[in-house]
Each structure stands twice: as structure tokens, then as C-alpha cells.
Amino acid sequence: MSESASPQTLNAGRCELVREATRRVTEAAATVTGVDLAPVAVDFDLAGRSAGQFIGRGDHCRIRYNPWIFARYFSENLATTVPHEVAHYAVYRAWPGRRVRPHGPEWQGIMRALGVEPAVTFDLDLSGLPRRQQRRHRYHCGCREHELSTTRHNRVSAGRARYACLQCRRELQYLG
């Protein structure tokens, strides 16, 4: 892909192939774990450097895929990312309410049972693909300005956190 070419995203046909692969791997994971795994919602709204993400909140579960990474490395993601995220889903359902490490032995065992090496990261070229970037928010203390990430700024705004300068120890104040 040339520097000036815009990144490609998945077309509707390929999205359907990923959904079908997710359904098939979920059925295989249900057999492997002996746990009833309902079909999981699949979205193609993930950006950044991750190819996939499992989200579980109570009974509401979904898998998010990065359409740009899938478009560039379609077969690799079908073979690795789909089982990776489904394995997270299976762990979430098989060990409910238990604190299980995200890529711990339970997840690794499910990956191996699905016939996939339990790798956590990949080393594919992601140059030219859209990336998430957090906005920075300006704060000050008694001695200088600071930049806080959107996550930290939101915590301050909601009253859930306060941050102080490591130099002068004064609480940071938002500059707006």
C-alpha cells in the first residue's frame, strides 16, 4: 500500500464471513468448555492498534473487530483474532465472577483446544491505518503546566480523582 493510498475497510461480504467464523468458533468453544455459549454480538467499530476486543458486562457480551486491520490481513485475523476473542468470551462464561487473568492458563487452554497457538500480540505492519489518539487537556499547578489524558481529565471532572504535581505537590487545576 502506498503512502498516499487511503486505508481499506471491510466490505459487507467480508463482515458476514467474520461473523460466521465467530459463530463457528463460538460453537467449537462451547463444545470444548462444556458451557452454553449464546451467539455473541459482533461489531466492526474498533480503531487503533488492536485487531479485536471482547467486552463482557453481566449478560451483555460483544466482540469488536478492527475493520482496517481485518481488511489488510483478512486470513490471518480469521485464523487468530477470531479464536482469540472467542476464547475471552468462553473464559468469561466458563468462570463467571472469578478473577481470571486475561491471557492466563484458562484462556491459553481454550486457545490450544481450538487448535490455535495462544499468542497475545502480533507483529503486522499497521502503517497507514487509522489510530485512536486521546486528546490532551491542559492543567496547571504552582510551578508549571501539565497535560492530562482524556481518561484522567474525565476522572477529575466526575470527581473520582485528583492529581497533584510531583514537584510542588499542589493539586492540578484545569485551564480549560
3-state helix, strand, coil in the chain (%, to 5): 35, 15, 45
Question: Partners of 55 in the beta sheet?
Answer: 62
Q: Within 10 Å of residue 53's Cβ, how many Cβ atoms? A: 18
Is the CB of residue 91 less than 8 Å from the CB of residue 107? yes
Q: Within 10 Å of residue 35's Cβ, how many Cβ atoms? A: 16
Is the CB of residue 106 less than 8 Å from the CB of residue 94? yes
147 has catalytic annotation: no
Count how many residues are written for the chain: 176
* Distance separating alpha carbons of residues 18 and 39, to the nearest angstrom: 13
Which of 81, 103, 77, 79 lies closest to 91 in space, CA to CA? 103
The active-site residue out of 16, 76, 85, 117 is 85
C-alpha 155: how far from chain center: 21
Active site members: 85
